[in-house]
Structure 1
Amino acid sequence: MEYFDILNEASDNVGLKFDQDKYDQFMLYKDLIKEWNEKINLTAIKEDEAIVQKHFIDSMKVFKFDQLKNAKNVIDIGTGGGFPGIPMKIIKPEVNIVLLDSLNKRIIFLNEVINRLDLKNIKAIHGRAEDFAQEKQYREKFDVAVSRAVANLTVLSEYCIPYVKVGGYFVAMKGPAVEEEIKLSKNAIRMLGGQIEHIEKVQIEGSDLKHNLVIIKKISQTHKKYPRKAGMVAKVPLF
C-alpha cells in the first residue's frame, strides 16, 4: 500500500475516484514495466517511486482538462510504454482507448499489459501515425488525441490533429518550458484545422515536478494532404 495515498490524492485532484482495484492494477503495471524493461527499452525511469510519479501520476493529469472526462473515444499517439493511455484507462475505465506506436516490441508489451490487467475496450496498434491518419476508420474519428511523445509541438500536431473530429481536442503533454514551442507551432496548428485554446498547468503530487497540457481544439477539417508521408513531418516541419 506504499503508493496508495499519493495515487488516491492525484486521482482526487483531477476529480476521479480511486480504489483498491485500481491500485492493484497500477502495481501490476509497474511490475510488468520493470520486468519487460530488462528485455526491451520501455523507459529510462526504473525506480518504483519515479514510475508512479513520472509515468502514472503524470499520465493521470490529462484529466485536469475537464472535457476529457466526457470523451468516449481517445487515441494515444506514440504511446511507448502505454503513457498516458493505460493509466487513463485504469483511472477511467469507461473511456475507449487506442494505443498507437511504431515499434512492434512495444505493442507486444502493451497487449501483455492489457491482458494481465484485464482491460476492456482498449487496443494497441502497430504503425506510423502518418499512415493510420489516412485510414477511414481512424481519420477524424476521435473525441480526443493525446500524446506525450518526444517531438516538438509543430511535428506532434501534424501527427495528431488529423485523428480528431471537428469539435474535439488534441492534448499535448509538455514540460515546463513550452512558450517558444507554442509560438513556433501556431501557424502549423491553424493549417491543420486546430486552434490553441489554453495551457493547463499541472503539478505532480509528492514532487516539485511541473508540466503543461497544451489544449488544442479542432475547429475545422484537416486537409487530406496532412499528415504528409512518413519521414516528411519531422524532416520538414510546417511553419
Structure 2
Amino acid sequence: MQGAAQALEQRLGYKFKEPRLPLAALTHTSYINEVLESGGEPPEDNQRLEFLGDAVIDLLIGEELFRRFPQAREGELTQWRAQLVSTEALASVASQLQLGELMLLGKGEANQGGQHTAANLAAAFEAVVAAVYLDSGLAAVGEVFLPLFQAAIERVTAARGPQDARSRLQELAQARFGITPQYRTVEEHGPDHARVFTVQVTVGEHVTAEGTAHSKRAAAQNAAEKALAQLSLPQIAER
C-alpha cells in the first residue's frame, strides 16, 4: 500500500507531509469491504476526500477561467467549467497520472475492470486533489494540478466565437502585465451627421495606440487592433 502512495508522490512531483492522505485517496470502498471481511483493520477510503475534491476542483478551474478570460460571460464560463470537471474529463486527467494502476480495489471490483472505469478514475482524482489541499492548501493544488488541465482548457475554450480586438487586448494585457487597458477619447471633429472620433488606448507604460472612426466604439476597436500589433513585436513581447 505504501508503494502506491510513494508512486503517487513521484507522479505528482509532490511530497505529502501527512502519509495517510495519499493512501486514503487511492483506497476504493470495495477494498475496505474485503479488509473487514478478513477481520483486518480497515484503512480510510476515499469517499469523503472525493466529496471535498469535487468542490476544490470547481474552485480551481472556476478561478483559472475567471482570471484567464475576463471578457467571458457567466454562462460561457459555467459551460466551460462543466466540460472541464465532468466525469469523463477528470478520468482523462487521472489517466495522465496512471491512477488506475495505483488504486486499491477489492478483488471483485478489480476483476470487473474497476481500475479503468471513468467513475472510479474521476473519484480517485478528486480524492487526490483533496489530499493535496488538506496537506498544503489551494496554492499547492494549483501548482500540482493546473498544468494537467491546460490542454483541455485550450481545447474547450477554442470553440468560442471570434473575439473582438478589445477583448483580446484585455486578455493579453492582463495575462502578460497584470493590468487593464485604458481608453479615452482624445479628439472629435466634423459635422454631427459625420462625426469623427479618435480614441487612445494605453497598456500601462508598454503601449499607446490611437484609432479613428465614425463612432467611439469603432475607434476603440481600431486602437485595440493597433495595440495588439505593437504587443506582437519582439521587443515588447519580451518585457
TM range (shorter): under 0.3
Q: Which has the higher strand share?
A: 1
TM-score where L is the length of structure 2: 0.24
Q: Which has the higher helix share?
A: 2
